[in-house]
Amino acid sequence: MTAPAAPLAPGRYTFDTTIPEERLDLAVARLTGRSRTQAATLIATGRVRVDDRAEKASWRLQPGERIAVEIPEPPGREVTPEAIPLTVVFEDEEVVVVDKPAGMVVHPAPGNWSGTLVNALLGRGQALAAAGGAERAGLVHRLDKETSGLLIVAKTDRAHRVLSGALAARTITRRYVALCWGHLDTDQLTVDRSLARDPNDRTRIAVVRDGRQARTDFTRLARFASVDLLRAHLHTGRTHQIRVHLASVGHPVVGDDTYGGGGGRRLLGLPPRRHFLHAAWLIFPHPVSGAPVELRSPLPPDLRAALAAAAEEPTWVARSDLLDYLGVYGGDGPAV
């Protein structure tokens, strides 16, 4: 098993040694997506074995050794329903689709136990699928905190099972709008680079040779003085995928402090900690009928204002059909 792009879920895992002489605690941290302190705790509590024997955190791994790791269930914490307004764009007995605002964390986790999308959904008094546990109830996929747009939540276990399968089979279409610094060499670009946790900074994702396969198609919709407006089509859904793929080709998302795109946010009037990335288009098969459900989310006001600043001729940015006009939902869009 290779290094994950996100912390591994509770369970038992086995890994082959890939870096000779690497310390055991560093290897466990890298392979499980956890901090070095968390890895050391797993070792000290007997949840790590090297070729079926216990070793200290300082043990230097040898070629051919296999590492077995048991990740326990985290201590439970009750998720509190909260009366937080949400923009619901589709809902029936099986599914609810939310247009998530930037700044909202999707699910509770250490440091963000309240104010999340899951807290808000529970505050509506509705049942959610139990899959994923109370903290991730019903979530089929996720959006980063500062990414806005469409997100699917399953209300029943059947819907969660079917939609998760559709996501894995890549029969759910997800298109994003992104503004990146600089200019792509071509109007069409496919980035197919594996991703995993950055071994030097566990809060970041990096292009890693033995990471999880990730592919994004980019289409340039408009070119301005210092930025390109892009349509991004996800073939996989790895953590921070669009942001890391664009940064890896030297064109980070405008406003993305984590991956090098935050320095010039004031030029376009972006709010602090906001990056220009929006999940604008979603098509998924209904988990019961199988009929396609197509949903669209307009560009939020803060991103519309930033686009007007980038364009320097903002009259067309006021169009009510802006994203359709630009070709986000199909076609090549206008020559702007």
Within a domain: 6: no
Q: Which residues contact 75 (CB under 8 A, 6 or more apart)?
A: none
pLDDT given at position 245: 98
Residue 180: which of 281, 312, 276 has the closest Cα? 276
Assess contact for 99 and 89: CB atoms under 8 A: yes
- pLDDT tens column, 103-161: 999 887 766 778 899 999 999 987 889 876 777 788 999 999 999 999 999 999 999 99
In the DSSP assignment, the letter for residue 45 is T
Residues 198, 253, single domain; the answer is yes
Within a domain: 204: yes
Across the range 311-330, mean pLDDT stands at: 89
Residues 179, 257, single domain; the answer is yes
Residues 195, 295, single domain; the answer is yes
How many residues are recorded in the chain? 336
Residue 191: which of 219, 168, 167, 156 has the closest Cα? 219
Phi, psi of 159 (to 5 degrees): -65, -40
- pLDDT tens column, 267-315: 899 998 899 999 999 999 999 999 999 999 999 999 999 999 999 877 8
Angstrom distance (rounded) from CA 130 to CA 143? 20
> Does 144 participate in catalysis according to the annotation?
yes
Within a domain: 159: yes
Residues 42, 157, single domain; the answer is no
Task: Tell whether the model's pLDDT for residue 10 goes beyond 60.
Answer: yes
Residues 189, 320, single domain; the answer is yes
- Residue 134's domain comprises 88-168
Q: How confident is the model at residue 175 (pLDDT cuts 50, 70, 90)?
A: very high
Mean pLDDT, all residues of the chain: 90
- Give percent of the chain with pLDDT exceeding 90: 71
Among residues 99, 144, 228, 302, the one annotated as catalytic is 144
Q: How confident is the model at residue 263 (pLDDT cuts 50, 70, 90)?
A: confident
- Count of domains observed in the chain: 3
Q: Which of 25-34, 210-219, 309-318 has the lowest mean pLDDT?
A: 309-318
Angstrom distance (rounded) from CA 267 to CA 240? 24
Q: Name the amino acid, one letter, at 333.
A: G
Angstrom distance (rounded) from CA 305 to CA 249? 26
Locate 278 and state its tokens.
Answer: 């929006």
Look up the CATH number of the domain holding residue 261.
Answer: 3.30.2350.10
Within a domain: 210: yes
- pLDDT tens column, 74-114: 665 678 888 999 999 999 999 999 999 999 998 877 667 78
pLDDT given at position 283: 96
Distances (CA, A) of 156 to 80, 81, 100, 163, 332: 20, 18, 20, 11, 38
Residues 196, 307, single domain; the answer is yes
pLDDT given at position 4: 58
Residues 191, 313, single domain; the answer is yes
Task: Tell whether the model's pLDDT for residue 336 goes beyond 90.
Answer: no
Within a domain: 77: no
Residues 307, 162, single domain; the answer is no
Q: How confident is the model at residue 241 (pLDDT cuts 50, 70, 90)?
A: very high
